[in-house]
Amino acid sequence: MPASSSPPLTDQPLVARRMSAGEQLRAEHKPRRLLQLLAGLIGYGTALALLVGSGLGASSWNVLAEGLAHRTGLSFGMATNLIALAVLVFWIPLRELPGLGTVLNVLLVGAAADVAAHLLPAPGTLAEQLAHYSLGLLLFAFCDALYLGARFGAGPRDGLMTGAVRVTGRPLWTVRTGIEVLVVAVGWALGGTVGAGTVVLAVAAGPLVQTFLRHTTVPLRADGSAGSTAR
């Protein structure tokens, strides 16, 4: 009997297979993937500005950075950088591979957030705060999936998620939610500020990213032979 073909990548609750930086650059659909990568990273930074500007609660990683800064006396920026370095160390046992997206994530997301924060009007009412937050949450999840789906490598924190998904075989949404909740808990224990929006983001980000990723992951010819490697 002939072997059945693998189901399309977007029909599977999987992260895309692991590729080296060279494989990422040699893979087909480069113009589309590059445009998707840039749009995702810029949109992701804009989403962060919307979430912060709403005043309804920082992201889990911001809570952790704030708590670490509070405990150590470091600046918020220095604490953020140290956390990113620590996360990258965990990439080693997870066998996560960096790529162009990893570098551009560091260079573009913060810059896009700064520009968006300067251009976006500050919300003046609770309704406007909720609108900023709701739009920021959806844009956060969609653009996260958009840049990951371009398959040029993950940013430091998203690489922790994708690596853990491949190693554990667990669905993306459960891994992402577990990471978010753990980071919030540690950050809060260290003295970081947790708002209602922080809790919602921690719980909702994983399911939303998994849903969007089904539609944003660019399929490649090599997927049929190599297949995806994790749930």
Q: What digits encode the pLDDT tens for the residues 2-34?
A: 443 434 433 344 678 889 999 999 999 999 999
Residues 6+ apart with CB under 8 A from 89: none
- Within 120-227, residue ranges assigned H as helices are 126-149, 156-168, 172-189, 196-216, 223-226
What would the pLDDT profile of 173-184 be if each residue is shown by its tens digit?
A: 999 999 999 999
The pLDDT value recorded for residue 226 is: 52
Average pLDDT over residues 86-90: 91
What would the pLDDT profile of 171-220 be if each residue is shown by its tens digit?
A: 999 999 999 999 999 999 999 989 999 999 999 999 999 999 999 999 99
Which range (56-65, 75-84, 151-160, 164-173) has the least confidence? 75-84
Q: Is 75 helix (H, G, I), strand (E, B) or coil?
A: coil
Give the DSSP H/E element, type plus range, for residue 24.
helix 21-26
Q: Report the residue count for the chain.
A: 231
Give yes or no for residue 229 having a pLDDT over 80: no
The pLDDT value recorded for residue 2 is: 41
In whole angstroms, give the CA distance from residue 105 to residue 42: 9
User: Mean pLDDT across the chain, nearest whole number?
Assistant: 87
User: Buried b vs exposed e over 78-108: b needs ≥16 C-beta within 10 Å?
Assistant: ebbeebbeebbeebeebebbbbbbbebbeeb
For residue 10, the 8-state DSSP code is: G
The pLDDT value recorded for residue 114 is: 86
**Angle, to 10 degrees, between the axis of helix 100-119 and the axis of helix 156-168?**
130
